[in-house]
Amino acid sequence: MLSIPLPTLALFLAAFTLAPLAVLGANGLAALAATTGALALVRLWNRRHGLTVPWTVAAFPLLIALWAALSAAWAAEPGLALASAGRLALLAALGTALMAAAATLSAAERRAVTAGLLLGSLLAAALLGVESLTDNRLSGQLFEVRGRTPLPRGAKSQFNRGATILALTLWPLAGLLLSQGRRRTAAAAAAIIVAILLTGDSLAAKLALAAGAAIFAVALSSPRRAAQLVTAAVAAAAVALMAGAPHLPTPPASFVTLPALPISAHHRLSIWQFTASRAVEKPLLGWGMEASRSVPGAEDRLDTQWIDDAGIDRGSLTGVRLPLHPHNAILQWWLELGLVGLSAAIALVWWVAGRAARLDRQQPAALAALAAALVVANVSYGIWQSWWLCALWLCAALCATMTAGKDETP
């Protein structure tokens, strides 16, 4: 009978679960991160003698959490601000433990993580492929099974969170396979995943793929230059958003000036314009942690019918000016934590990029994952959402796994 050590089996299952869980129920990533984090803490405790834990990994996230906690003094909802700051600090500690434990894996454990991640990623890709072939009916049926209102025909896929996570974890998967000399497997897996993501309707996943591929290509010849490019791009995007976002065209004017955009993009423009216009009012300190939920005017309705110049009904835009979060990390940092918090966040990106560029191996994959994550963070989701933060820490742990098991050579 085949005997597999329990820790190795647990690592395989954790890696295998990540991508399919992101597709079928991304909120479950918080439970996955908590479970694997607990295992990581046990491992670190058992190996505490002579083990150097890189707690500097948590330094910038903890500083941001501290500033977020201080912002409760002027936040509209101090209790919510403190709770979110505390959760951010807890996830930073847990994520650091995950990364520290990942770097201690043996070659056999690393192979188990690679096998689990490969199989899980292909399963997730298969689910997304079926979703695309059935005109998003797979997620629609799952939506109904959960007791929710049936989705209208042609609605966007409810699996798009999984698509964006797969666009991130593609890079540590490729890095792990390449570090083990499995170049053909890496190429085949990447080709399958990329092809399926490109047939889906998640624009964020497609943009993440493009950004990751570009940084990967640069990092092949110069990881240091790629790290500088990532940091410079984030800083430039911050300056551009602060200067330009308050003046973005909004519906119905944007229907005329930007007719090629889908109606969802017009809503996003309105959200970003509103967020930036509020951020300008308190640029240095911000409105306080989680202020996106309560900033004045956020609940104002933005209901507009789009009739183009030819008299064709292009759809209706419904919703509020700021629904819970701005779908843009840079604007959310600026709105809630001001220039102080935004500067700390950019410093975090600079530090992570520099650290990724100095990895013992597979710097291109780690830097590509960072670039992909930054793209998704700035076009989708709220930066403080637990499932999203857990996804980022899990992806970071996978990147740390690429440096483990050094008795293995390609």
- Quick: pLDDT tens for 371-409: 999 999 999 899 999 999 999 999 999 998 987 655 443
234 found inside a domain: yes
309 found inside a domain: no
Q: Which of 7-21, 105-119, 142-156 has the highest mean pLDDT?
A: 105-119
Q: What is the pLDDT of residue 342?
A: 96
Percentage of residues in the chain having pLDDT higher than 90: 60
165 found inside a domain: yes
Q: What is the pLDDT of residue 236?
A: 97
Nearest to residue 43, comparing CAs of 406, 410, 401? 401
Count of CB atoms situated within 10 Å of the CB of 69:
20
Whether pLDDT at 410 is above 50? no
224 found inside a domain: yes
Which helix (H) or strand (E) covers residue 315, if one does? strand 313-317
- The DSSP result for 249-290, as a single string, is --TTHHHHH-TTS-HHHHHHHHHHHHHHHHHTTSTTT-S-TT
| Helix, strand, coil percentages, rounded to 5, for the chain | 70, 5, 25
174 found inside a domain: yes
Q: Using 50, 70 and 90 to split pLDDT, how confident is the model at 7?
A: low
Question: How many Å apart are CA 268 and CA 287, to the nearest integer?
Answer: 21
* DSSP assigned state of 320: B
Whether pLDDT at 2 is above 60? no
SS3 label, residue 214: helix
CA 147 to chain CA mean position, Å: 28
219 found inside a domain: yes
Whether the Cβ atoms of residue 171 and residue 216 lie closer than 8 Å to each other: yes
280 found inside a domain: no
Q: Using 50, 70 and 90 to split pLDDT, how confident is the model at 267?
A: confident
**Paired sense of beta strands 304-307 and 313-317, if any:** antiparallel
Structural domain for 109, as ranges:
6-241+327-401
Whether the Cβ atoms of residue 182 and residue 342 lie closer than 8 Å to each other: no
Average pLDDT across the chain, whole number: 88
Q: What is the pLDDT of residue 409?
A: 39
252 found inside a domain: no
How many domains does the chain fold into? Answer: 1
